Amino acid sequence: MADDAFHVYDTTLRDGAQQEGLNLSVADKLVVARHLDGLGVGFIEGGWPGANPKDTEFFRRAQTELDLKHAQLTAFGATRRAGVKAADDPLVAALRESGAPIVTLVAKSHDRHVELALRTTLEENLAMIRDTVSHLHAEGQRVFLDAEHFFDGYKSNPAYALEVIRTAAEAGASVIALCDTNGGMLPDELADVVHHAVQTSARIGIHCHDDTGCAVANTLAAVRAGATHVQGCANGYGERSGNANLFTVVANLQLKRGYDLVPPQSLRDMTRIAHAITEVTNVTPNSHQPYVGVSAFAHKAGLHASAIKVDPNLYQHIDPAEVGNDMRMLVSDMAGRASVELKGRELGYQLTGDQARQLVDRVKEMESRGYTFEAADASFELLLRDSVHGERRRHFAVESWRVIVERRPSGEVASEATVKLHAKGERIVATGEGNGPVNALDRAVRAALEGIYPELTAVELIDFKVRILEGTHGTDAITRVLVTSSDETAEWATVGVDENIIEASWQALEQAVTFGLLRAGYTP
């Protein structure tokens, strides 16, 4: 298990699951817990047994299905109800019987919340904290306390907020986490309050929400002020604006402040873990997320590329490999020769000076017409290959294509495409029907080529984006189409531009198929 001197506490499965649009099954929660354990966090908050059937089931299955190497499982719940003994409260019993070695209790620390939300007295709230903590502690469970709305409560009645800390600590709570529940604090004022809380001699933790965009900064400020327990969620999940991003917090503390929080190999696995969790949660990953986002170490400006060619550290604050990420060079109209040379090297090509200059000119000319290569690496690689070989090289030559869109008497709209092309010395004519013109073209080109190139059956179009570039022309506007394809092991993106949306789509589709054939090992 992790060192107890400093706690990394994850609440993705409970607080993070409250994010709008995020819905985890019990099986999902078990998978995410294994990923978090692989990262090396010390504590995984599994949910609220007794209050939520799904969470009750999670703790039941966790006893036999989770073999945690680093983390301890934590059950979340509330203090007893007013006027009821902790030993007789059914929700407290559910925490006791959850099988979790640790219980995190949420308790009110804001006087107005006690009186208006709990509808009880300040004295009874303290008794609820004291009774519940001491009861669970006596039953053999370790108890943490989340002091809800602590910072707002401190502003309203500092003496009472601090008394909540003292009461919990004296009753046996080993950590009192101060919660910025509404997420409204800024780092300097939060650090001052944490400093006062630490003077109570209780062990202090921090739980921040990101409503001011300061959750990570507030967490780091709290640690500097004396907190030794940090809470957060994978990828910053959580309701409203989310929680402190635990990946960013851990990377900052370990790489910038020298804390030994997770094993170095686990830190190098952080990017993979972050992306694996997005697959389970089905939440689109934030490409600009610090440390683990695909754009976290992506460079576009030509000035940056020239410097990075000399020394990557000139425009990178860490080596991306420390968190399992990679440096990427983006090719665009902002690119210079260094950008293109580095991108070519990244793809396995050594360009001569003349080739690089010609390619830069070509990229800038095409981007002036609406193409974008920073989002279409496969299109750029095809362009680069053409530049290296001095000619356009493809696996097939298109003679013509045609699409018919027909609205039938039944009201059904049908699309049919015909493609005529030459491949491996053959002239092939094929047709395809689809739920739209692009889908019909996709099926037609596959029908033409799959007999010659059977590996194409594994390639599928997984995303299709259209952008109007010059809206003032109305329906005659220039259109850019981005197509994302996959062969089950990797994804690639291609781009097409034209006044005609079908032609733009065909350009991107043709390149997608060509790149898929290159990946399959076919030489054009």
The 3 state secondary structure assigned to 434-486 is ECCHHHHHHHHHHHHHCCCCHHHHHCEEEEEEEEECCHHHHHHCCEEEEEEEE
CB-CB neighbours of 162 under 10 Å: 21
What share of the chain in percent tops pLDDT 90?
A: 63
Please give the residue that has the higher pLDDT: either 460 or 473: 460
Q: Are residues 382 and 508 in the same domain?
A: no
CB-CB neighbours of 359 under 10 Å: 24
Does a structural domain hold residue 483? yes
Look at residue 257 and give its three-state secondary structure. coil
Q: What is the pLDDT of residue 343?
A: 66
Q: What is the pLDDT of residue 281?
A: 86
Q: What is the pLDDT of residue 380?
A: 84
Q: Taking residues 258-267, report their average pLDDT.
A: 92
Is the pLDDT at 338 greater than 70? The verdict is no
Q: What is the pLDDT of residue 334?
A: 47
Does a structural domain hold residue 335? yes
Q: What is the pLDDT of residue 294?
A: 78
Please give the residue that has the higher pLDDT: either 287 or 65: 65
Q: How many domains does the chain have?
A: 3
Three-state secondary structure string covering 25-61: CHHHHHHHHHHHHHHCCCEEEEECCCCCHHHHHHHHH
Q: Whole-angstrom Cα distance, residue 469 to residue 312?
A: 34
Q: Whole-angstrom Cα distance, residue 208 to residue 215?
A: 5
Q: Ramachandran region of residue 144, left (φ > 0), alpha (ψ -120 to 50) or beta?
A: beta
Residue-averaged pLDDT of the chain: 88
pLDDT band at 93 (very low <50, low <70, confident <90, very high): very high
Tokens of 408: 């039938």
Q: What is the pLDDT of residue 136?
A: 97
Q: Are residues 415 and 364 in the same domain?
A: no
Is the pLDDT at 233 greater than 70? The verdict is yes
Q: Whole-angstrom Cα distance, residue 366 to residue 388?
A: 18
Does a structural domain hold residue 289? no
Q: What is the pLDDT of residue 386?
A: 82
Length of the chain equals 524
Tokens of 194: 């944490």
281, 314, 330: which is the final residue of a domain?
A: 281
CB of 107 closer than 8 Å to CB of 135: no
337, 357, 388: which is the final residue of a domain?
A: 388
Is the pLDDT at 464 greater than 80? The verdict is yes
Q: Are residues 380 and 411 in the same domain?
A: no
pLDDT band at 19 (very low <50, low <70, confident <90, very high): very high
Domain that holds residue 377: 298-388
Does a structural domain hold residue 2? no
Q: What is the pLDDT of residue 203?
A: 97
Look at residue 75 and give its three-state secondary structure. strand
Which of 40-49, 307-316, 468-477 tops mean pLDDT?
A: 40-49
Q: Are residues 362 and 405 in the same domain?
A: no
Is the pLDDT at 467 greater than 90? The verdict is no
pLDDT band at 328 (very low <50, low <70, confident <90, very high): low
Q: Taking residues 108-113, report their average pLDDT.
A: 94
Is the pLDDT at 333 greater than 50? The verdict is no
Q: Pairing between strand 413-423 and 142-148?
A: unpaired
Look at residue 133 and give its three-state secondary structure. helix
Does a structural domain hold residue 288? no
Does a structural domain hold residue 287? no
Please give the residue that has the higher pLDDT: either 275 or 211: 211
Q: Are residues 12 and 143 in the same domain?
A: yes
Q: Whole-angstrom Cα distance, residue 367 to residue 55?
A: 52
Does a structural domain hold residue 18? yes
Tokens of 220: 């780091």
DSSP state, residue 315: G
Q: Whole-angstrom Cα distance, residue 72 to residue 93?
A: 20
CB of 269 closer than 8 Å to CB of 314: no
Please give the residue that has the higher pLDDT: either 489 or 248: 248
CB of 292 closer than 8 Å to CB of 270: yes
Q: Are residues 340 and 200 in the same domain?
A: no
Q: Taking residues 407-421, report their average pLDDT.
A: 92
Is the pLDDT at 516 greater than 80? The verdict is yes
281, 313, 341: which is the final residue of a domain?
A: 281
Q: Are residues 255 and 309 in the same domain?
A: no
CB of 381 closer than 8 Å to CB of 347: yes
Q: Measured between alpha carbons, how far is residue 122 from residues 127, 161, 164, 168, 175 in Å?
A: 9, 10, 10, 14, 21
Q: Are residues 146 and 172 in the same domain?
A: yes
CB of 243 closer than 8 Å to CB of 215: yes
Q: Are residues 377 and 433 in the same domain?
A: no
Tell me the backbone φ, ψ of residue 282, rounded to 5 degrees: 60, 35
pLDDT band at 508 (very low <50, low <70, confident <90, very high): very high
Three-state secondary structure string covering 175-236: EEEEEECCCCCCHHHHHHHHHHHHCCCCCEEEEEECCCCCHHHHHHHHHHCCCCEEEEEHHH
Q: Taking residues 85-109, report their average pLDDT.
A: 95
Three-state secondary structure string covering 408-431: CCCCCEEEEEEEEEEECCEEEEEE
**Which CATH number fits the domain that encloses residue 110?**
3.20.20.70
Owner of token pair 């219980």: 103
Is the pLDDT at 148 greater than 70? The verdict is yes
C-alpha closest to that of 431 among 421, 415, 443: 443
Q: Are residues 189 and 335 in the same domain?
A: no
Q: Taking residues 8-12, report their average pLDDT.
A: 97
Does a structural domain hold residue 136? yes
Q: Are residues 358 and 402 in the same domain?
A: no
411 exposed, middle or buried (CB, 10 Å; 0-12, 13-18, 19+)? exposed
Q: What is the pLDDT of residue 45?
A: 97
Region of poorest pLDDT, from 150-154, 374-378, 465-469: 374-378
**Which CATH number fits the domain that encloses residue 509?**
3.30.160.270
pLDDT band at 299 (very low <50, low <70, confident <90, very high): low
Q: What is the pLDDT of residue 240?
A: 95
Q: Are residues 324 and 179 in the same domain?
A: no
